[in-house]
Structure 1
């Protein structure tokens, strides 16, 4: 029988032990009274960041980090109208329904195993992977990783419900795209992505300008194992690219790597027949962010940059820095695990403003 267990981009990377302190569940319980956004559409990154902090041994500082982040949290918005298995399609992509969607998925994951709910909704949500600047799928990836790594506690299942609800509310398909010349590797494909002409607006304005992406992979994905390999390749390429191109938009460009990594993290909870279709969606998300925010030219790093640092030391710097995007990107870079990925993570620490 073929081994279809997905691995992170770095096969040799050590897997941190699951949280035994209870800190993650405590943090999630604190967070679930708040909505997934603030100021109209800016994302609440706290559930994702605290999961990464706990996973990498930073649990003692999580509540202090949340105390600082509290000013960026808003209460869950009011309910609008109940979502049901009959009327869900009319509510898909309606941000007014954020609280309705959270309640819907709370009911679904109470009545049925969370894996069944995820498998049913994954193909429905994938076409809108770029919605919410890819934050909803990233939140799903963190939530699934936690459930797969340890106890399926109430707060962890509820976190997945809120993540799926956020994705459903912000579901936004990309405009019709023309398939361009195929690229032999994920790195070549990202390098061939054309920048959008007008980079003066927000992400929704930029995504509306997309017209086509290079074809990648350059041949149909043949099965679950290949899907895992292609996703790992994409995550690695996008993480490496940040080292040279992250200066263009240090916050937004992290999503070119963290969004496909969220898909990769979710694969082991999905039926194998859903793995191959996930590759195309992950590529679309990564390419869209690259087109929207990449600068015109790279910046070379000094020789030996970050060479003396271990993975634990790089993550400790990200945790002390405190920026949510930096923490999540460094978490993905540690999944990749090689020297270029660690250099990219350190670059994100330097480029993004500190939060602590």
Structure 2
């Protein structure tokens, strides 16, 4: 974490006066984007970028009703409690270590990983990465509360009764085997509701050991990043989440008990496959963009200059893949070029 001057904490304090959504249901991407920019040495751009982004944001939601240990189940998935859930997690994180709170709530929230088009789990993943890497400052603890609160308020499981289908062993092939939804119109909630079958590439009860689950999750992130490089034209904004959602889960694993890792893999697969089912292009893949010899750092700089929050977050995940798996670097970096090419920072 390159944050020698407090830029990230300053940005988070500014953002915590705003809500997790705007214009009805669009997600506030700023906390995730600024964390990625600081991490990759682009802290000097953060406040100017935030000045431009913040004008679209809204104030924190007003209280609706207090969340308690007795009524939280009834309030789960009820967006009227957006502000109250954040306050609840702020209280819990003030009483206990953040890892203990995360371990208690992770299995409760995990079945609703589709919440907010997967943005809440992504926000939690960025917050956890920051806490694992550096000082546990008050703004960084508060950011975890905001992420967990957003996830709880928008908690959304995939449809009941999804039939598991045979799945290729390779994660790349498994993603390409995901059947598209019959009516690819409307928002993601409408699309996810149409899913009736998914390849059974990962399931909570498939006997996967924790370390094997972590390795398979890593393969999924690599595959989904490569999928974006060749399929982003299906929907360049929404398909970002097929990669960034499982990577958020992967980032959280070191802070979680290993016993939770297999279920985390299964949920990450369901989220990634659900996004692919919803937005896969009808015409199939296209050749990935060529990087022209640019380094990973140069491509992240290109994404930061471009300014679209989705491109910045996709670049952040792509750099993880390229650093850990140089042989997949061309596809990962090609994904960054596709995101810069196809996303609109003013959208």
Q: 1:350 aligned to 2:341?
A: yes
Give SS of 2:270's match: helix
Aligned to 1:323: 308
Question: TM-score, normalization: structure 1?
Answer: 0.93
Match of 2:287 in 1: 301
User: Following the alignment from structure 1 to structure 2, what is the Cα–Cα distance between the partners of residues 99 and 254?
Assistant: 27
Task: Name the SS for the 2:166 alignment partner.
Answer: strand
Q: Given the superposition, is the C-alpha separation of residues 221 and 343 from structure 1 closer, same or farther in structure 2, using an over 3 Å criterion? A: farther
2:181 and 2:190 map into 1 onto residues whose CA distance is 10
Q: Which residue of 2 aligns with 1:178?
A: 163
The answer for unaligned runs of 5 or more in structure 1 is 1-16
More moved, 289-298 vs 110-119: 289-298
Shift of 1:182: 2.5
**Residue number among 43, 47, 72 corresponding to 2:27 in the alignment:** 43
Q: Which residue in 2 is equivalent to 1:209? A: 194
Cα distance in 2, alignment partners of residues 120 and 307 from structure 1: 46
CA contact (8 A) 2:231 2:285 kept: yes
The match for 1:241 among 210, 224, 227 is 227
Deviation at 1:297, TM superposition (A): 2.4
Q: 1:80 to 1:354 in 2, by over 3 A?
A: closer
Judging changes above 3 Å, is the alpha-carbon distance between structure 1 residues 50 and 221 closer, same or farther for their aligned structure 2 residues?
A: farther
Aligned-partner Cα distance in 2 for 1:190–1:313: 29
Q: Deviations over 1:209-235 (max 9, x none)?
A: 010100104893532211110000000
Secondary structure of the equivalent of 1:152? Answer: coil
The Cα offsets for residues 275-297 of structure 1, whole Å up to 9 and x where unpaired, read as: 11101000000000000011022
1:93 paired with 2:84, answer no
**2:244 is aligned with 1:258:** yes
RMSD after superposition: 1.4
Query: Is the contact between residue 329 and residue 345 of structure 1 (CA under 8 Å) also seen in structure 2?
Result: yes
Query: What is the 5 A alignment of 1:182-201?
Result: 182-201=167-186
Kindly report which structure 2 residues correspond to 1:113-152, keeping only aligned pairs within 5 A, or say none.
Answer: 113-152=97-136
Regions of 4+ moved over 2 Å:
217-222, 297-302
- Provide the aligned length of Structure 1 versus Structure 2: 339
| Secondary structure of the corresponding residue to residue 297 of structure 1 | coil
Q: Is the 8 A contact 1:321 1:355 kept in 2?
A: no
Is 1:20 the equivalent of 2:4?
Answer: yes
- 106, 111, 115: which is aligned to 2:90? 106
Shift of 1:40: 1.5
Structure 2 match to 1:271: 257
> Are the equivalent residues in 1 in contact too, given 2:167–2:201 (CA < 8 A)?
yes
Measured after TM superposition, the shift of residue 354 of structure 1 is: 3.3
Q: Does the 8 A contact of 1:184 with 1:217 survive in 2?
A: no
